Amino acid sequence: MDDAKIKNFTSCFKEKKFLVFFFNRLRVNNTGRYEKEFPYFSPCGRESNYVRCDDVPYVFTHVVPDPKDENLFRFCYAHAGDELSVPFEPEKMIMLPRTGRVYHPAPKKVGGIGLVKSSLAIEFSKFFTFGQSEENPPTHFTWNEKTYELVKWYDTLPDDTDDTSGHEKVKES
């Protein structure tokens, strides 16, 4: 949107069909152009969409039952309704106590980690159990009347220079 001439262009970002198209093509920018300024890239025919965001590009918006298995759930992202989703893995929820941000595994093509939108993270906060203190990351997450021990599945987390939770930082390339 940096160089968009028509600012009402943002209305297309509300269309599910466009969002599915855009996010299915989104990947890490390794084009050799604008990589530092725009770490993500979404090609669209001959057009090149260079993307940057404040944290990570995937933002989870809601959880829905898995249509194929009534015991499982899907975590939907990108405001595309149920059309973009990953399996919901409660044992892989991450909360950074200093920032309150909550993360979950996302498609690997853009780093494999997604942010849980703020209102949902606030709702989820009551499901976290903290072991020694609330200054340390939570140890458990309760979902659908089952308590899961949280597992470390990530090598790095989005950079938060003020974070003192003991989580590793994303290394710049």
pLDDT of residue 78: 94
Predicted TM-score (pTM) of the model is: 0.81
Which residues have a Cβ under 8 Å from the Cβ of 19 and sit 6 or more positions away?
A: 13, 78, 79, 80, 83, 84
Long-range CB contacts (within 8 A, 24+) of 163-169: 163/96, 163/98, 163/99, 164/98, 164/135, 165/96, 165/97, 165/98, 165/135, 165/136, 165/137, 166/136, 166/137, 167/94, 167/96, 167/137
- Cα 151 from Cα 100, distance rounded (Å): 18
Judge contact between 147 and 138, C-beta under 8 A. Answer: no
Question: What is the rounded CA–CA span in Å between residue 20 and residue 66?
Answer: 19
What's the pLDDT score for residue 173? 33
Q: Which of 67, 101, 102 lies closest to 85 in space, CA to CA? A: 67
Give the pLDDT of residue 83: 93
Q: Using alpha carbons, select from 90, 85, 89, 65 the residue that is nearest to residue 75.
A: 85
Q: What is the pLDDT of residue 2?
A: 58
pLDDT in tens, 94-137: 998 888 899 999 999 998 999 999 999 999 999 999 987 777 88
pLDDT one-digit tens code per residue, 7-32: 444 555 568 998 999 999 999 999 99
- Tell me how far apart the alpha carbons of residues 85 and 99 are, in angstroms, rounded to a whole number: 25
pLDDT tens per residue, range 131-159: 877 778 899 999 999 999 999 998 877 75
For 45-92, how does the pLDDT look when each residue is reduced to its tens digit (9 = 90+)? Answer: 898 999 999 999 999 999 999 999 999 999 999 999 889 999 999 999
